[in-house]
């Protein structure tokens, strides 16, 4: 069960809009291939427990999916070693493989960063085909049901949840509307992972 927060609420699965699927089985991510589904969420606990993010860099690279774990380890190599680094690398690699299952592309773009502000705080739809988002710690990405206005109460992913967000390239005007949770001034740290198809300049 996904806990509620003061700023965002996730309704029980029976009350979800018909364009959203949520389940504790990772197989739920396959529902993103259904034409009406624009958001599929795998509920899971975060594999990281209270990581120290004080020196965490912004990580961004494109790689073939079998090389993603090595890419994460290389990016974190300049930091003092922490046990959770070795938990993070294989988890990112696993999510990259899952993402590639629904894109058919054997390369991915990985972006991971510490977020202390509001990030993309306005509700929006991404100009991508499909985007995987998870927040390892801190508040998760907020989203709106189809047809809701920006002042509607948002729903949200919890820390650890894995979401496949269908963007405008695949869903047009039905693309899922979402935003970063507003955390500026709270002192909260988020560890955010985004996996995309490689950007055009990375494909050459």
- Is 131 in contact with 167 (CB distance < 8 Å)? yes
d(CA 31, CA 51): 31
* Structural domain spans, the chain: 17-203
Q: What is the pLDDT of residue 150?
A: 82
Q: What is the pLDDT of residue 13?
A: 43
Residues ≥6 apart with Cβ < 8 Å to 129: 103, 166, 167, 169, 170, 197
* Residue 102 token pair: 């629904």
* Prediction pTM value: 0.88
d(CA 20, CA 124): 17
Query: Is it the case that residue 153 has pLDDT exceeding 70?
Result: yes
Q: Among residues 127, 154, 156, 124, which one has the least CA distance to residue 41? A: 156
d(CA 40, CA 26): 10
Query: Is it the case that residue 63 has pLDDT exceeding 50?
Result: yes
**Number of helical (H) and strand (E) elements in the chain, helices listed first:** 4, 10
Report pLDDT digits (tens) over 69-106: 999 999 998 888 888 999 999 999 999 999 999 888 88
- Is 28 in contact with 41 (CB distance < 8 Å)? yes
Task: Work out the pLDDT band at 116, boundaries 50, 70, 90.
Answer: confident
- Is 105 in contact with 198 (CB distance < 8 Å)? yes
d(CA 97, CA 5): 31
Round the average pLDDT of the chain to a whole number and report it: 88
d(CA 166, CA 125): 9
Is 17-203 in CATH node 2.60.120.10? yes
Report pLDDT digits (tens) over 14-51: 488 999 999 999 999 999 999 999 999 999 999 998 88
């Amino acid at each position: 069960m996904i806990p509620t927060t003061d700023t965002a609420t996730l309704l029980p699965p029976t009350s979800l809009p018909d364009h959203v699927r949520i389940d504790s089985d990772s197989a739920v991510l396959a529902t993103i291939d259904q034409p009406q589904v624009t958001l599929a969420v795998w509920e899971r606990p975060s594999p990281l427990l209270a990581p120290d993010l004080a020196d965490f860099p912004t990580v961004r690279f494109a790689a073939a999916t079998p090389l993603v774990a090595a890419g994460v380890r290389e990016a974190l190599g300049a930091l003092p070693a922490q046990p959770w680094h070795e938990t993070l690398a294989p988890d990112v690699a696993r999510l990259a493989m899952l993402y590639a299952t629904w894109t058919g592309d054997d390369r991915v773009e990985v972006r991971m960063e510490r977020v202390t502000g509001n990030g993309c705080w306005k509700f929006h739809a991404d100009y991508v085909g499909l985007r995987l988002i998870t927040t390892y710690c801190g508040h998760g990405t907020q989203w709106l049901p189809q047809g809701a206005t920006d002042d509607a109460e948002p729903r949200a992913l919890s820390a650890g949840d894995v979401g496949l967000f269908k963007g405008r390239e695949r869903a047009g005007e039905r693309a899922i509307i979402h935003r970063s949770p507003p955390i500026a001034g709270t002192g909260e740290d988020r560890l955010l992972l985004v996996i995309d198809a490689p950007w055009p300049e990375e494909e050459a």
